Amino acid sequence: MIALNGGGGIPVVDPTSADGVFGLLWLIIALPLAGAAILLVGGKYTDKWGHLLGTLMPIGSFVLSVVMFATLLGRSEEDRQVSQHLYTWFEVGHLDVGMDLLYDPLSALFLLLITGVGSLIHVYSIGYMAHDPRRRRFFGYLNLFVAAMLMLVLAENYLGLFLGWEGVGLASYLLISFWQHKPSAAAAGKKAFVINRVGDMGLSLAIMMFFVLFGSTSFTVISENVANASETQLTILGLLLLVGACGKSAQFPLQAWLLDAMEGPTPVSALIHAATMVTAGVYLIVRSNFVFELAPHAQTAVVVVAVISIFWGAWIGCAKDDIKKALAGSTMSQIGYMMLAAGLGVAGYAFAIFHLLMHGFFKANMFLGAGSVMHGMDDDVDMRHYGMVRKAMPITYVTFAAGYLAIIGFPGFSGFWSKDKIIETALADNWIVGLCALLGAGVTGFYMTRMMLMTFFGEKRWEKDVHPHESPSVMTVPLIALAALSVVGGVFIVNDWIVEFLAPVTGVAEHHEPPIPALAVSALAVAVVAVGVWLAWVLIGKREVPREAPQDVSFVTRAGREEVYGNLINDTLVVNPGRRAVAGSLVLDEKVVDGVLTGGPMAVGGLASVGRRVQNGYVRSYALSLLAGALIVTLALLAVNLA
Amino acid sequence: MNDFPWLTVLIAVPLVGALVTAFLPKAPGSVLPKQVALGFSLLTLAVGVAIAAQYDTGDGMQMTETHTWIEAFGVHYALGVDGLGLLLILLTVFLVPVVFVASWNEADGNNVPAFFAWALALEAFGLCVFAATDVFLFYVVFEATLIPAYFLIGGFGREGRSFAALKFLMYQLGGGLVLLAAVIGLYVVSADAGSPSYLLSDLQNVEMSTTWERWLFVGFMIAFAVKAPLFPLHTWLADTTEKATPGTSVLLVCVLDKIGTFGMLRFCLGLFPEASQWATPVVVTLALISIVYGAFLAIGQDDILRLIGLTSLSHFGFITLGIFAFSSQGASGSILYMVNHGIGTAALFLIAGYLIRRKGTSLISEISGVQNRAPVLAGLFLVAGLATLGLPGLSQFVSEILVMIAAFDYHWWVGVVAVTGIVLAAIYVLWLYQRTMTGPPVAGDEGMKDLNRRELVAVVPLMLALVLFGFYPMPLLDAANPTVDTLLEHVGVSDDAPSVPAADHAEEGEH
Amino acid sequence: MNITAYVVLSGILFTIGCVGVLTRRNAIVVFMCVELMLNASNLALVAFAKQHGNLDGQIAAFFVMVVAAAEVVVGLAIIMTIFRTRRSASVDDASLLKY
């Protein structure tokens, strides 16, 4: 039996010491880290073989992850938490932070996703970046990212998690602004990092509060003692963690960086800004389930943020003509689903992770597909310049279609199973939230169909001199692999396997009888999606798509194109007041602070420069002043004596 | 323990080096003065390492030397190191050779021997400050550091340096004057209590009235707040770093300014524990203002060197905050922060110096797209910048999180204000990087060369230290922790226990 | 004996000397006026000594004479040097030593 903590039904983190194959846990992180170090320090000496080394490293980690996963499956349920103490990171007073790793079912699945999808994307990048003179550096950054992401999901305490958390932020920054000679790319990277840092404030504060409350940042200690904390304390902790998660996962209100992040090379968008890094927020919440389970108000906040994000992202996805930005909007929306599930508590955690994995497959697949299309279209991202790409790029088309069917939730495809479960759980929890989730699925159907139609169907609207061609096999093989996963990913849910596998981490939900039978929910979801698809067919498929985006459009479309005014809101509320504060500080410092402190001596100097005029060099005037002085002294003496 | 006067030797080596270098011929193009100075600085480094090797963590003041100097006033020539002093001594002896290598050609066309001689003199006085265990001796060398610093700023650097040097001197002398008054006051207190003595160990046990203690504390604190610097006594900092050579700025900001925070720990907390606690609300407020205000000012700068100087205002705010949070995390974090800030900011200053030498300007608005021509320079600048903004895995993070944890423990809103520093730091570092390093290649930069071997040799040790102490800061903490424990015990505070009681282990079996 | 007349004469002489120092430009004349002032004070000293019937004032007058002699030596040398270099004995011309 798994130990549960006092309050909610959440298991205590109680790992056993790593032995056997688990002794190599550190190597999973060390391999890509070594790759990054060699490629980045080695410089141009590694140009020739750098990309090969960079690809081998995550593959090595993947092999290790698979071996460990198999070993973990062979263990009984209560033995499935393993920890490895590497060394003491820092220790002051009773704060003792170890470089500790924790391997449990949750980390195990993430490891497979990160190293598996990561390896495929590394392979794809060999082809995609073939002509880039800085390819070696690209692989160095990618390896750095993989190492940091692995650190994030393997850490046993919040500070270790934060190390990975910031590491992926750094890698994301470097990769978004990889083509740094483009000012827009450089600005996008900085924007991503800064907005992430706003979220990090929340996570940092949560870490501080964990220490103050529990004297430790270790999952083991906190999960053991969490039941003794008051609900207010836990609610604050939950909200702080949510702020952190919002930053990393591009959830409302910290979503504005994700669309700009599409400035990065497409494999980056696929790996970091779709499959792995942006889902770190969901990981954080599921990992911190011991906090959220005892803080229902924080859970409500998670759900609210999630629902807003589902629609906000979908809205953007419906309006953008840039294929990558439309996909980014969709990512935000899909992560909203995961957050929603995570906010639903024990009943939803497993489904959040399930959807996260499926999304990792199909969204990476579609991003890479989009990259393949761009590759053929001379790096044009405007879908209005596509059309009928299906003929020119059949493999890309088929694989993209697999991802498309998965994301809209076509029965049998991976996304169908995962999204269906979330809608079902949401409906069981609260019918308004459930309806929102259902409606979101319909919108997903609309914007994905729109993308599909504009890209692969309809008339050719290509620019002159563009001759789309299928990408080389080094790019199509990863596409095929991901497409296969998008199709069959649903096997994880057979017999509720994933739910039971994750139970040592997420706990076991009491089974509620849903208000509507599960089959009816599925049917309803499919029907709503069908409406969305039909709408897209009517509005886009049957009409001619203009090559220039029409300007006389409704407010809704305009807002969508402007990313629902996220940047405008940020500028008005934060950036512009911030600029004014900076300008004000400069004036304050120069005029007031420096003025007062340096002004005093300056005034003395000024007075002196006036006073020294008395020394005019004329002996007679000196004599006169002498006389005057003598007179004054004499008169004073007289006055005193006579008085 | 052997009786070899290690610390006197440590101070004497650079002092002799300064004298020797000063009298070498100043023929143009002669490298002899540079080589001699570098040799002496490396010798000092060797002595410093030898001291560190003999240092026994957790054994209080060590390698003490005490000789009576002025008997009537109880003044001694007394030296000794504890963890705090040792770390700062090591930082100093490590940074000086780095600065020499990086500034190899900085003084060319000027009085080359003078530059290196003054720098060595500064090192000698700085080391004496960190080793002094007699308040009077401390005061004397504290003021003596101003002489080489003044000549380094005023003699070498850019247009307008003499005014900057004057401003620097006026501020420091002003602070020093207040300190002098407090030092004399200390004599009165000590003489009243019996025989006068300026020895730290004696003064710590002197009983003084609350009023006296507070006045003396204020005197010491003002001097250290000018030195550190702390808002609102900081305005000399940016002017100085803008006009001085980057090498001088490293010596000033990374070594000399540490005297301020060093003094707060050693003297303010050590001699006036009750008054320190009495003044905490004010000092913490000023530290918070420094953190946020310094970052705002840094964001608005158009001069790289000014910007880097002002980031230090923000960082010294963190250090002061940690000291006055009165917990072991805060104090150890502050000591660690002093070392890490020294390394990180030195790297920033030196690499910015390389860039300015190549471009001939330090204005951010006139520099762009450096990454295209000099990727190594840009990459190393980014690493140093990331360390400055507190990225985990680089050294400054550990110290920053320790200080913030202590701040949060002190009072939650203090932690909330301090944590905004991490966002502001990201803005000033990355915006600086974006404006100077990224963007399309600029016409006229075709001839720009990447870092040469000498320049790399200077900054690579700094980079290695940044990464090493980011992942493994324990060697530093092992030295700092015992000192902090002793100090906090003397002050009479202990860490708060976790506010949530630990789970009852007896009950656990039933789960 | 009544010394009023001597004191009044001394006062008149001193005033003449004083006005001379303040108004004349020729260094020699200024110098003579200074001597006049010194002698005026000598006269006052001697007169008061007579009135008090002791020698204190007379001794002081001797001191003043000695100092005046020394002053003449140094002063005239300076005036001579200035005159040689500048071809002028005006005190206003020698006004370089100023702010």
pLDDT, one tens digit per residue, over B64-116 is: 889 999 888 889 999 999 999 999 999 999 999 999 999 888 878 778 889 99
Interchain CB contact of B376 with A (< 8 Å): yes
Q: Do chains A and B touch (3 or more CB pairs under 8 A)?
A: yes
How many other CB atoms are found less than 10 A from the CB of residue B34?
Answer: 22
Token pair 């779709």 is found at: A274
A residues 480-519 closer than 8 Å to B (CB): none
Mean pLDDT of C54-65: 92
Place of tokens 């969490």: A226
pLDDT band at B373 (very low <50, low <70, confident <90, very high): confident
Contacts of B133 (CB under 8 A, 6+ apart): B61, B64, B66, B78, B79, B80, B199, B200, B201
Provide, as residue numbers in chain C, all residues whose Cβ is less than 8 Å from the Cβ of A629: none
**pLDDT digits over A27-86, tens only?**
999 999 999 999 998 888 888 888 999 999 999 999 999 999 999 988 888 788 888 999
> Considering only alpha carbons, which residue of chain A is nearest residue B429?
A190
pTM for the model:
0.88
Contact B333 A92 (CB under 8 A): yes
Q: Residue A200 is encoded by which pair of tokens?
A: 């990090």
Each residue's pLDDT tens digit, A239-291: 999 999 999 999 988 988 999 999 889 999 999 888 899 999 999 999 999 99
Band (pLDDT 50/70/90 cuts) for residue A391 is confident
> A343-357, A508-522, B482-496: lowest mean pLDDT where?
A508-522
Cβ contact A208–B474 (<8 Å): no
Residue A212, min C-alpha distance to chain B (Å): 6
Residues in chain A with CB shorter than 8 Å from the CB of C94 are 617, 619
Q: What is the 3-state secondary structure (H, E, C) of B267-307?
A: HHHHHCHHHHHHHHHHHHHHHHHHHHHHHHHHHCCCEHHHH
What's the confidence (pLDDT) of residue A9?
63
CATH no. of C25-86? 1.10.287.3510
The answer to whether B495 and B328 are in contact (CB under 8 A) is: yes
What's the pLDDT at A519?
85
B58 at interface of A, judged by CB pairs closer than 8 A:
no
Residues 6 or more apart from C33 whose CB is under 8 A from it?
A: C16, C17, C18, C19, C20, C21, C24
pLDDT at B192 over 60: yes
pLDDT score, position B1: 47
Q: Which of A180, A589, A597 lies nearest to residue B297, judging by beta carbons? A: A589
| B427-469: pLDDT as tens digits | 999 999 999 998 888 887 778 888 889 999 999 999 999 999 9
What is the average pLDDT score of chain A?
89
* Mean pLDDT of all residues in B246-261: 92
Residue of A nearest to B294 (CA): A585
User: Is pLDDT at A559 greater than 80 in this prediction?
Assistant: yes
Closest of A66, A69, A64 to residue A32, by C-alpha: A64
Helix (H) / strand (E) element for A16: namely: strand A16-17
Please tell me if residue A227 touches chain B, with a CB cutoff of 8 Å: yes
Taking an 8 Å cut-off on Cβ atoms, the answer to whether A212 and B296 are in contact is no
Residue of A nearest to B389 (CA): A197
CB proximity C21 to A under 8 Å: yes
Q: Lowest mean pLDDT of A172-176, A385-389, B295-299, C62-66, name the range.
A: A385-389
Give the range of the structural domain holding residue B311, as residue numbers without chain letter. 289-490
Percent share of chain C, pLDDT over 70:
99
Q: Does C16 touch chain A (CB under 8 A)?
A: no
C5 touches chain A (CB under 8 A): no
Q: In the predicted model, what is the mean pLDDT of residues B210-216?
A: 91
**What is the average pLDDT score of chain B?**
90
Instruction: Find the angle CA(A276)-CA(A280)-CA(A283) to the nearest 5 degrees.
Output: 115
Q: How far is CA B171 from CA A45, B45, B236, in A?
A: 51, 31, 7
ipTM above 0.85, yes or no: yes
| Alpha carbon of A633: minimum distance to chain C alpha carbons (Å) | 17
C-beta atoms of B481 and A92 within 8 A: yes
Task: Tell me the three state secondary structure of residue A2.
Answer: coil
Q: How far apart are the first and last CA of chain A?
A: 108
**Cα–Cα dist A388/A378, whole Å:** 16
Average pLDDT over residues A514-538: 87
Of B293, B329, B439, the CB nearest to A93: B329
Mutate to test the interface with A, among B500, B504, B507, B508 (most CBs of A within 10 A): B500
- Check if the beta carbon of residue A226 is closer than 8 Å to that of residue B426: no
A616 contacts C23? CB cut-off 8 A = no
B229 in reach of chain A (CB within 8 A): no
Q: In chain A, which residues have their Cβ closer than 8 Å to the Cβ of B437?
A: 180
Residues of chain A contacting residue B177, judged by C-beta atoms under 8 Å apart: none
Q: Do residues B369 and A180 touch, judged by C-beta distance below 8 A?
A: no
Interface test with B, best of A10, A12, A194, A208 (most B CBs within 10 A): A208
Name the phi and psi angles at A3, rounded to 5.
-70, 135
Whether B300 is covered by a domain: the verdict is yes
What is the average pLDDT across C37-52? 93
The answer to whether A162 touches B392, Cβ cutoff 8 Å, is yes
Nearest CA in chain C to A624: C22
Angstroms from A177 CA to nearest CA on chain B:
9
The span from the CA of A259 to the CA of B121, in Å, is 55
- DSSP code of residue B33: H
Mean pLDDT, residues A103-118: 93
Delimit the domains of chain C by residue range. 25-86
Separation between Cα atoms, residue A331 and residue A258, nearest integer Å: 9
Q: Within an 8 Å CB–CB cutoff, is residue C99 touching chain A?
A: yes
Nearest-Cα residue of chain B relative to residue A182: B439
> What's the domain count of chain B?
1
Indicate which of A615, A616, A618 best probes the interface with C, i.e. most C CBs within 10 Å of its own CB. A618
Q: Which DSSP symbol is given to A130?
A: T
Test the A interface: residue of B307, B371, B499 with most A CBs within 10 Å: B499
A-to-B residue pairs, Cβ atoms closer than 8 angstroms: 180
Chain B residues whose beta carbon lies within 8 Å of the beta carbon of residue A227: 503
Q: Do chains A and C touch (3 or more CB pairs under 8 A)?
A: yes
Least confident piece of the model among A144-148, B111-115, B193-197: B193-197
